[in-house]
């Protein structure tokens, strides 16, 4: 093993010799597949420790399909412990030769027309790396996922977007595999997908595939949308984004263009609508009917469309009933408020009348009736000084009679005093 890797890393090795050693290493890994799982895991770690990932990186840069195929087979064998490959990619991302890391080579591989099973090999390797996170490997897995979305996700979206122009379009198998990988990402990383889609309008770019003539690509695009909505059905922000950017419009349009042909596209779109209805995604139900019912009217005989319209009508009826109940409650509250105001008003008048009656009664009690029948207002006595003692002698006090005032004396009395005398 030591001689094998020393020879493969040698700068003096011929291309033919290196080719033979790579094919031998692939055969060695194939034979090792019959080992017990624990032994296979140990062998993978030994190969990784001897620098097998460096050799695979050089092999994947080759233009010879046989070598690239051998490299993907070896790499697929080593993904029995995906954390080994994740750690290698994370540690060598910045120092990769020629600016292309092993992760970048995998992305190039899935976007290159190698033909045969090689495209599926690249796809399966990426799926293994993006999945399988456990409690023991959560850190390495999270770091790799962050790296994938930061460095590679936009490249996959750009390949799809550029396919709108026929001369730059990737082949059908390449686009289909990319859609398959995006579906996988949407199922396993809904939060990262949501953030990525919001930042670069990726969903709108993916749905450009609905303009393709190949129905398999159209179906693949609809499946991505279905997977994203399914993974984020409880995410109001995602649902709002779908409505705000009218994301379902190209799907409804291609469904209408398909007409009454019962094919995969027909079934996939109906399944999407059924999912929205069964999951009670109220906002999307209202959005679809209010925006596209005129177009969907031609499918009104279909049970799925009828059920969708009934769900919409149910939401409308509930909203109207709620609004009516709210208006009734508001009216009753206003009536109760008016009755209360009237009650307070009349209660206030009654209290004022009672207060006035009590005031008149008290006033009458204060009037003194002298013997001659004339009414004299009783003037309350001044409060006694705190320094005087009431000894009861004032009961026997008899004031001296007042002498009449003469006319000439009255002329000298001030006006205020005259009033009081009067």
pLDDT in tens, 33-49: 999 999 999 999 999 99
- Can you give the pLDDT at residue 304? 95
- Can you give the pLDDT at residue 344? 59
Instruction: Please write the tens of the pLDDT for every residue from 8-28.
Output: 988 888 989 999 999 999 999
- Can you give the pLDDT at residue 387? 43
* Average of per-residue pLDDT across 297-315: 95
Residue 20: phi and psi, rounded to 5, are -65, -40
Taking a C-beta distance cutoff of 8 angstroms, is the pair 234, 194 a contact? no
Average pLDDT, the chain: 80
- Can you give the pLDDT at residue 139? 75
The long-range contacts involving 124-132, CB below 8 angstroms and separated by at least 24 positions, are 124/76, 125/72, 125/75, 125/76, 125/79, 126/181, 127/181, 127/184, 128/79, 128/82, 129/79, 129/82, 129/85, 129/86, 129/89, 130/184, 130/185, 130/188, 130/189, 131/184, 131/188, 132/82
Instruction: Please write the tens of the pLDDT for every residue from 230-285.
Output: 988 888 888 998 999 999 999 999 999 999 999 999 999 999 999 999 999 999 99
* Average of per-residue pLDDT across 127-150: 80
**Residue 135: CA atoms inside 13 Å, Cβ hemisphere, count?**
0
210: its two tokens: 């609905």
- The closest of 80, 50, 155 to 112, measured between CA atoms, is 155
Instruction: Please write the tens of the pLDDT for every residue from 198-216.
Output: 777 888 899 999 999 899 9
CB atoms within 10 A of CB 232: 20
Decide if pLDDT at 419 tops 50: no
Instruction: Please write the tens of the pLDDT for every residue from 113-127.
Output: 887 678 889 999 999
Q: Work out whether the CA dihedral 404, 409, 411, 416 comes out positive or negative.
A: negative
Residue 389 falls in which region: left (phi positive, over 0), alpha (psi -120 to 50) or beta: beta
CB atoms within 10 A of CB 155: 14
Decide if pLDDT at 94 tops 70: no
Percent pLDDT > 90 in the chain is 51
- The closest of 228, 275, 280, 273 to 251, measured between CA atoms, is 273
- Can you give the pLDDT at residue 169? 73
* Average of per-residue pLDDT across 144-172: 84
- Can you give the pLDDT at residue 181? 95
- Can you give the pLDDT at residue 262? 93
| Cα–Cα distances in angstroms (integers) from residue 375 to residues 164, 166, 364, 366, 402, in the given order | 113, 119, 11, 11, 20
Decide if pLDDT at 356 tops 80: no
Instruction: Please write the tens of the pLDDT for every residue from 357-416.
Output: 565 555 555 444 444 444 444 444 444 444 444 444 444 445 545 455 444 444 444 544
- Can you give the pLDDT at residue 355? 59
- The closest of 270, 228, 262 to 245, measured between CA atoms, is 228
């Amino acid at each position: 093993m030591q001689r094998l890797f020393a020879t493969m890393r040698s700068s003096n090795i011929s291309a033919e010799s290196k080719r033979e050693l790579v094919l031998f290493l692939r055969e060695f890994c194939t034979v090792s597949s019959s080992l017990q799982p624990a032994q296979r895991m140990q062998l993978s770690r030994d190969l990784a420790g001897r620098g097998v990932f460096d050799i695979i990186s050089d092999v994947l840069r080759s233009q010879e399909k046989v070598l690239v195929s051998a490299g993907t087979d070896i790499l697929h064998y080593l993904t029995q412990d995906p954390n080994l490959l994740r750690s290698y990619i994370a540690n060598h991302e910045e120092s990769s030769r020629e600016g292309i890391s092993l992760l970048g080579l995998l992305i190039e591989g899935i976007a290159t027309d190698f033909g045969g099973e090689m495209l599926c090999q690249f796809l399966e390797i990426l799926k293994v790396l993006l999945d399988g996170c456990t409690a023991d490997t959560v850190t390495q897995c999270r770091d790799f996922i962050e790296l994938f979305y930061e460095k590679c996700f936009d490249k996959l979206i750009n390949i799809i977007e550029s396919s709108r122009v026929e001369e730059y379009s990737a082949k059908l198998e390449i686009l289909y595999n990319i859609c398959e990988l995006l579906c996988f990402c949407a199922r396993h990383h809904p939060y990262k997908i949501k953030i990525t889609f919001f930042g670069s309008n990726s969903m709108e770019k993916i749905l450009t595939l609905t303009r393709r003539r190949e129905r398999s690509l159209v179906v693949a695009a609809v499946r991505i949308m279905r997977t994203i909505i399914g993974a984020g059905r409880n995410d109001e922000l995602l649902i709002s984004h779908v409505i705000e950017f009218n994301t379902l419009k190209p799907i409804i349009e291609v469904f209408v263009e398909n007409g009454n042909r019962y094919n995969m596209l027909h079934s996939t779109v109906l399944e999407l609508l059924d999912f929205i209805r069964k999951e009670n995604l109220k906002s999307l139900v209202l959005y679809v009917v209010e925006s596209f019912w005129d177009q969907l009217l031609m499918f009104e005989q279909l049970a799925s469309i009828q059920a969708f319209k009934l769900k919409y009508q149910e939401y409308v009826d509930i909203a109207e009933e709620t609004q009516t109940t709210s208006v009734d409650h508001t009216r009753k509250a206003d009536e109760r408020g008016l009755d209360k105001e009237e009650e307070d008003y009349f209660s206030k008048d009654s209290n004022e009348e009672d207060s006035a009656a009590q005031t008149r009664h008290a006033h009458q009690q204060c009037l003194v009736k002298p013997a001659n029948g004339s009414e004299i207002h009783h003037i309350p006595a001044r409060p006694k000084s705190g320094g005087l003692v009431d000894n009861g002698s004032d009961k026997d006090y008899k004031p001296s009679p007042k002498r009449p005032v003469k006319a000439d004396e009255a002329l000298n009395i001030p006006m205020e005093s005259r009033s009081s005398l009067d």
